[in-house]
Amino acid sequence: MTHEKCCYVVFSYSCYFYNYYYCYYYYYYYYYYYYYYYYYYYYYYYYYYYYYYYYYYYYNYYYYYYYYYY
């Protein structure tokens, strides 16, 4: 992998500045991607929980009407 090679080169003293900035940019992109994935997963879980509660509420509502009329 290029990024692993880059990062290993950066940790060594004989590295170029281009490899250093490339590695820093790669880690920043990876952190941004991980944060975006976690944010998306959190919102998906939140909306799933919201709709589950919403349908559960309507299910009890209709069950109440069914019990009331019959």
The residue length of the chain stands at: 70
The pLDDT score that the predictor gives to residue 3 is 44
Q: What percent of the chain has pLDDT over 90?
A: 0
Contacts of 3 (CB under 8 A, 6+ apart): 23, 26
Indicate whether 9 pLDDT > 70: no
Distance CA 18, CA 14 (A): 12
pLDDT average, residue stretch 52-68: 75
pLDDT average, residue stretch 32-58: 79
- Tokens coding 70: 């019959």
pLDDT average, residue stretch 3-28: 57
